[in-house]
Structure 1
């Protein structure tokens, strides 16, 4: 009997210990430090220019080769947007793929949600689509093949399109489709802008806007200048595509931040 009593007492203690342990675990779960994080949003806003002039379709411009040209399509991807605080903390947007289309005004300004509150001094983004998504098969949203920005499974996404008309081109039109996602042909470009003069302040009660100006002229008339009389079509990855991608990366400037 004494042995049975001892066994019963031990079992009771074990049950109490188990109950206490479970209770402690549940308390730990509610003490997630992330519970104290608050979130806000900001808007990524793009304004296209041609040099110092406003940019519009079917308007005649002149390049550095004294050639007249007018654009009928300017489209490109902005992806992998990240923000960084002064202490080195980095926040990255999830599913960060945005198709910019000069002909669709709503695409020129998009809101980015669920950003932890705080002061951010640096923003980075990719012009193009990262290698992983280039080989991930059929996708939706901005990456849908229905957007006509995809070549094929082995050539991947078209990162940027510049199309239009010019009497200097052999057939009166120009068309540059820029891509190349891996190895020697990789044409993605990543831009970083510092915001030391005016930090991006994220809070639940405000929705700031980061206003970028993008000088479309630099795509074909930047560091690597293109004469449309000599080259008016490019639809494949390679060194020429990389040159245009690099040109276009230099078209972006952070103009100001609206609080």
Structure 2
């Protein structure tokens, strides 16, 4: 009877430990309340390797890791679903309606993604490169501002929406390179253009292609964001367009001059996650 009593006590003790463990493991990370909101921004400073981005630079063109010279005529991309987190795991997600931005390299006024978050010291920044599948499939009345398919022109005129595919172009990168064969996208003006229009959210139109990418930036090495109501905290990121070619899935422009809604877009999309580097934080 004594041994039985000891066994029952031990079983009860183990059960309590197990429940406590599960409770701790299942409990979500603490979240901020919608109070004490203060200004916070993320700056996207576009570069190409170790050089500043400039358009149609044929005098001193850029050169990728494969030795191919090229110039750039367009670079723009969507940033969305911004989140910040503190060292103790407390996380705040910016309300979705205020968390969609189109960064256009030709317009420096768009380089800042300005939001409001609770006062705090943030050690991690997370955002999406692209437009999430939920918002992509919402009615037009829920897709206003930069998400309005008609607001920034059609696909052929530099817009960020495929009308024929009913989907957003997450990342649009275009330029010229002499390595492109004359029989590939020949231009009457003699230009040899490359075009990389990366999109696809794994939805109804193409369930096998999902190029939505989540970018996580550790702020502890180059300066945490100390967000306060009486000042603007700004996280300065470099966005290196050279990574399109020189990322983990490096490739030659000559072999893939035009990549849009195709299987190869998945390889380029993986390179895009390597483009962002935290340079410093201004508090």
TM value normalised by structure 1: 0.81
2:110 matched to 1:99?
Answer: no
d(CA) in 1 for partners of 2:166, 2:246: 26
Q: Is the 8 A contact 2:65 2:245 kept in 1?
A: no
Identify the residue that residue 220 of structure 2 maps to in structure 1.
196
Residue of structure 2 equivalent to 1:132: 134
- Aligned residue in 2 for 1:67: 68
Distance 1:105 1:154 in 2: 29
Say how many residue pairs are matched: 224
Q: Is the 8 A contact 1:135 1:154 kept in 2?
A: no
Give, in whole Å, the separation in 1 of the partners of 2:138 and 2:171: 19
Q: Distance in 2 between matches of 1:51 and 1:214?
A: 9
Q: 2:38 aligns with which of 37, 40, 51?
A: 40
Structure 2 stretches lacking a partner, 5+ long: 1-32, 153-158, 187-191
Q: Quick check: which one's helix share is greater?
A: 1
Shift in Å, 1:208: 1.2
1:246 Cα deviation after fit: 1.2
Q: Which whole-Å CA distance do the structure 2 matches of 1:91 and 1:102 have between them?
A: 28
Give the 5 Å matches for 1:109-128.
Answer: 109-113=112-116, 115-128=117-130
Correspondence list, 1:1-259, <5 A: 37-59=35-57, 60-94=61-95, 95=97, 96-113=99-116, 115-138=117-140, 139-146=143-150, 147=152, 148-152=159-163, 154-170=165-181, 171=186, 172-182=192-202, 183-197=207-221, 198-238=223-263, 240-259=264-283
CA distance in 2, matches of 1:122, 1:129: 21
- Larger relative strand fraction: 1
In the alignment, the residues of structure 2 paired with residue 151 and residue 61 of structure 1 have an alpha-carbon distance, to the nearest angstrom, of 29
Mean Cα deviation higher: 154-163 or 93-102: 154-163
Indicate the structure (1 or 2) with the bigger Cα radius of gyration. 1
Task: Tell me the distance in 2 between the aligned counterparts of 1:122 and 1:48.
Answer: 21
C-alpha separation in 2, matches of 1:233 and 1:166: 12
SS at 2:169's partner residue?
strand
TM-score for the superposition, normalised by structure 2: 0.75
Mapped to 1, the partners of 2:164 and 2:255 lie a distance apart of 30
Secondary structure, aligned partner of 2:82 = strand
Q: Distance in 1 between matches of 2:87 and 2:49?
A: 33
Contact 2:201 2:211 in 1 (8 A): yes
Deviation string, structure 1 residues 26-77 (Cα, Å, up to 9, x no partner)? xxxxxxxx69x42211121111111111111112111122211101000111
Compute the displacement of 1:155 (Å).
4.8
Q: Is the 8 A contact 2:225 2:282 kept in 1?
A: no
